[in-house]
Amino acid sequence: MRIGIDFDNTLACYDPVFTRLAREQGLIEQDEQITKQGFRQLIRRKNNGELLWQRLQGEIYGQRMQEAEQFDGEDLFLRRCAAAPDIEVFIVSHKTVFGHFDETQSNLRHAAKLWMRDKGFFDPMKYAIPEAHLFFESTQLEKVARIAKLQCDVFIDDLIELFSTPSFPCGTKKILFSDAAPCKLVGQADYICASWVEIEEMIFGN
């Protein structure tokens, strides 16, 4: 089985980083928590909010990438994949080299790859994903084309828009990593999983 996985907000969880940044910006109290989407809504209410959002997002995906965390259950799922001889894991990310409006011009792909290396994604003794199985694509259409070329049996992503792309391969099962209400997404994804524990149960059957 070939399992394709998105990167941002699927493997890398940014909510703790956005919480710290929101506190630094004085947007929330020190004891409050915030998600990426909540942070975005607060920022976009400001003057030139969209531009500020792009800059801050570039900062997190670049300079502060190492503050990102893994999702609960992700480690066990990837270890189980590594232990299964009939499973290959591919990471396919829609990520430009540089962030829009990022004055530091941090290399976002390099930062993401360094984060994965530090977490043991390429370590034969941990997740054992070959670095050759990591792909960064500049557009969503190129990402979909890569998924098709790899002939992934399933693909896991947090964005329903990816699965709505007309060229998305019909032979690839769509697993949406989301806690959205399933009734709103009927027909857009084959499976909707709110956690990596649910994804593991769906893939391995227990």
Decide if pLDDT at 183 tops 50: no
**Paired tokens of 145:** 């084309």
Instruction: Kindly indicate the confidence band of residue 102, based on its pLDDT and cuts at 50, 70 and 90.
Output: low
Q: Is the dihedral of CA 82, 65, 194, 137 positive or negative?
A: negative
Has domain 2-13+68-204 been given CATH number 3.40.50.1000? yes
What is the pLDDT at residue 72?
95
Mean pLDDT to the nearest integer, 154-173: 94
pTM of the model: 0.89
Q: 70 exposed, middle or buried (CB, 10 Å; 0-12, 13-18, 19+)?
A: middle
Identify the residue with better confidence: 69 or 33: 69
What is the pLDDT at residue 91?
98
CB atoms within 10 A of CB 125: 7
What is the pLDDT at residue 180?
66
Question: How far apart are the C-alpha atoms of 54 and 86, rounded to whole Å?
Answer: 40
What is the pLDDT at residue 103?
67
- The string of DSSP codes covering 58-80 is HHHHTTTGGG-EEPTTHHHHHHH
pLDDT digits (tens, 9 = 90+) for 8-52: 999 999 988 888 887 887 777 777 777 777 777 777 787 777 777
Domain ranges of the chain: 2-13+68-204, 15-67
Mean pLDDT to the nearest integer, 178-190: 67
Question: Which stretches does DSSP call E strand in 67-158?
Answer: 69-70, 88-94, 134-137, 154-157
What is the pLDDT at residue 80?
97
Mean pLDDT to the nearest integer, 172-193: 78
What is the pLDDT at residue 184?
54
Question: How far apart are the C-alpha atoms of 6 and 121, rounded to whole Å?
Answer: 14
pLDDT digits (tens, 9 = 90+) for 76-93: 999 999 999 999 999 999
